Amino acid sequence: MHLLLTLALLAAPVPTTTASYAVYDRITHTLTGRDVHKPIRSASLVKILIAIEQLESRGDDPRIEPMLRVSDDNAASELWVENGWDQLVVRTAERLKLKDTRPPEKRGMWGYTAVSAYDVVKIYRYLLEDAKPKVRRTIMGHLQRAEKCASDGFDQSFGLPSATWRPAFKQGWSGFGDPTKPCVDRPRPRIQWELDTKSPALHTSGTCLFSIVVVLTLHPEGTTYEKAAKRVTQLTEEVTKHRC
């Protein structure tokens, strides 16, 4: 019986990380990657769309800085509501010609916006190539000054900040509960729905040298933030090798 149980355990599939990524070379104008159109929930990457919509429709706002630099959820939630909830995603996806981006089924859950690695690259290309200088300078300036510690206590230094030199970056995470070792004394509380996520998500995105890099990942339930962050950094090192 023990032998049968052992064989059954060995035969059972081992949960693995699901990853899609895209790297766009701004010199050769070529895109390489894997599963670039795979829809994955955005977590905090949607904050870039929130910033674009705010700047282009309503003007600059002091809440954009903490939303982008320390990934502040409260600032994002307020700007999300003020800019039309889920319709913000509909409008920006149409304006930026995003192929795979969809608003969340429940309009209050902005972190459940669907994105793909391809579309996140297009968002950065829009900022760098098509957006008005004021929009580009504001958003990319904040991403260039993104801090190591997020407002909710999570360490943002995985992925691009660890694998490349001086990137402008925006990270995303969801489903890890509360940080085991917060990097701030009093982390700001996170929105409650993130605690119900079954598959932890961890994303890194941004620019380094002449490349735009996006790595989106989903991890087996129960994966620690530290373990997921290590996986994302390793993958980022692989896809950015000889590029950044």
Residue 5 included in any domain: no
Q: Do 183 and 154 form a contact (C-beta atoms < 8 A)?
A: yes
Residue 26 included in any domain: yes
- Is 91 a residue whose pLDDT tops 60? yes
Residue range 160-179: mean pLDDT, rounded: 95
Residue 214 included in any domain: yes
Residue 7 included in any domain: no
Residue range 187-198: mean pLDDT, rounded: 52
Calculate the average pLDDT of the chain: 91
**Looking at residue 242, what is its pLDDT?**
85
Residue range 175-188: mean pLDDT, rounded: 85
- Is 198 a residue whose pLDDT tops 80? no
- Is 2 a residue whose pLDDT tops 60? no
Strands 211-218 and 18-25: antiparallel
Percent of the chain predicted with pLDDT > 70 = 89
- Is 4 a residue whose pLDDT tops 70? no
Residue 194 included in any domain: yes
Residue 92 included in any domain: yes
CATH number, residue 190: 3.40.710.10
Domain count, the chain: 1
**Looking at residue 7, what is its pLDDT?**
38
Locus of tokens 């429709």: 57
**Looking at residue 189, what is its pLDDT?**
62
Q: Residue 77's domain spans which residues?
A: 15-240
Residue 94 included in any domain: yes
Q: How many residues does the chain have?
A: 244
Residue 200 included in any domain: yes
Q: How far apart are the first and last CA of the chain?
A: 54
Convert the pLDDT of each residue in 99-150 to its tens digit: 999 999 999 999 999 999 999 999 999 999 999 999 999 999 999 999 999 9
Which of 181, 187, 113, 102 minimizes the C-alpha distance to 150? 187
Residue range 55-65: mean pLDDT, rounded: 98
Percent of the chain predicted with pLDDT > 90 = 83
